[in-house]
Amino acid sequence: MSGCGAWRRLGRGGVVRKPNIIFILADDLGYGDLGCYGQQAIQTPSLDRMASEGMIFTNHYAGSTVCAPSRCCLMTGKHTGHAYVRGNARVPLRPGDVTVAELLKQAGYTTGIIGKWGLGEPETTGIPNRQGFDYWFGYLNQRHAHNYYPEYLWRNEEKVALDNEERPVNPPGGVATKRVQYSHDLFAIEALSFIERHREDPFFLYLAFTIPHANNEAKGEGMEVPSYVPYTDESWPDPQKGHAAMITRMDADVGRLFEKLKALGIDDDTLVLFSSDNGPHKEGGGDPAFFNSSGPLRGYKRALYEGGIRVPLIARWPGKIEAGSGTDHVSAFWDFLPTCCDLAGLVPPEGIDGLSMLPTLLGSSGRQRQHRFLYWEFHEQGKKQAVRMGDWKGVRLNVAKEPDGPIELYHLELDPGETTDLATDHPEVVAQIADIMRTAHTPSEHWPWPA
């Protein structure tokens, strides 16, 4: 079910040009943190314009409710019942794990990642340069990535010293004592440079910003940003000024990226997607309730309720994606890999959980394959499971104590805020979801599951 004929065109020398692919990933950005998703206080004009020029998804899901497993799902096309990295631990991807970058390299793409990785420590098999990326700049370790003013970042396999100074707190975490170079600004510069260098190639850029994640080690002052502009004079608590200023700063850099694509004449040849790795956090002084960051959804980061896993997804591709369009197609991070394969003319690897979203992106929703279910498992807070099956959503808590414990049941079309548990009224649906929870999980040596 490829939509290739709808988008492929001849480039220089009569050669079919494959589209550039840019995936911009925010960190802990909530479903309700953008204007185009209903935010009233935080200014996001560039992302709102991206939505007006492209497609907005209202039923898109992150790979997990925390960072590393979510990113593993994005990179490998597998949900957390099958993915190798299922939690926030220093478990690197293996040589045999096939990533989006490795596949796109086979199709002639130049591949780059800038920002935060989280799937392999230095000198392990999981570092980006050993997982299909030609170029890499940023943080390898998630705790290191908490600090927006680090003393170093990684460029490929070399440490790059910065002018910041810090005191170690829960190393490799730290709190800056001398703030000179803001890592997000460096990422924005690197992204524009990567695009400039590879404007003649088909390229894949994974731009994994750390905004608006908190510096957890800074406690209540963890919403680190060089300036509170344009919210300096608001009567909000400083952490909330910081949260808003971070998002608006990132939004401006997204705008600069689009300006670069237009200036280079490759705007029409580039698919750009924007999303977040999980729901909003409550760390470093952050308060998801202050800006209604989860929107109409229940919960936030580390929950398997909708607020923890349903995230924004905006897609823009001038001339290919209808401007101002929207979709309620149910999709997840593991759909990105097969979508890229479809774009590049590749056959997706066997054993993945994703389905290509290309028909939806190109306006051919009638040809779009649908998921029978989406599945998540979470290995903190007593272990949890969740399943979305059509409009039904099942959540099981405290799996460590009760592997076959009760399942809460919600009807998302009628109750997107998951306020009314319907489990006793629909035992047949609960039984179907329980069966999915049992069969979608495969054993993992790193994330054991109770028998």
Residue 444: predicted pLDDT: 96
What's the rounded Cα separation, in Å, for the pair 208 and 49? 20
Residue 13: predicted pLDDT: 46
150 prior amide bond cis, ω within 30: no
Question: What contacts 262, CB < 8 A, 6 or more positions away?
Answer: none
Residue 158's Cβ-count burial label (10 Å; 0-12, 13-18, 19+) is exposed
Low-confidence ranges of the chain (pLDDT < 70): 1-16
Count the neighbouring beta carbons within 10 Å of the beta carbon of residue 265: 9
Nearest Cα to Cα of residue 294 among 66, 44, 65, 29: 29
Nearest Cα to Cα of residue 208 among 128, 114, 111, 348: 114
H/E stretch holding 136 reads strand 135-139
Domains of the chain with CATH codes: 17-367 (3.40.720.10), 374-440 (3.30.1120.10)
202 prior amide bond cis, ω within 30: no
What's the rounded Cα separation, in Å, for the pair 175 and 216? 9
What's the rounded Cα separation, in Å, for the pair 114 and 17? 24
Count the neighbouring beta carbons within 10 Å of the beta carbon of residue 262: 13
Question: pLDDT tens digits, residue range 7-22?
Answer: 454 444 445 679 999 9
Query: Is 17 strand, coil or helix?
Result: strand
DSSP state of 88: S
Contact in structure between 30 and 279 (CB atoms under 8 Å): yes
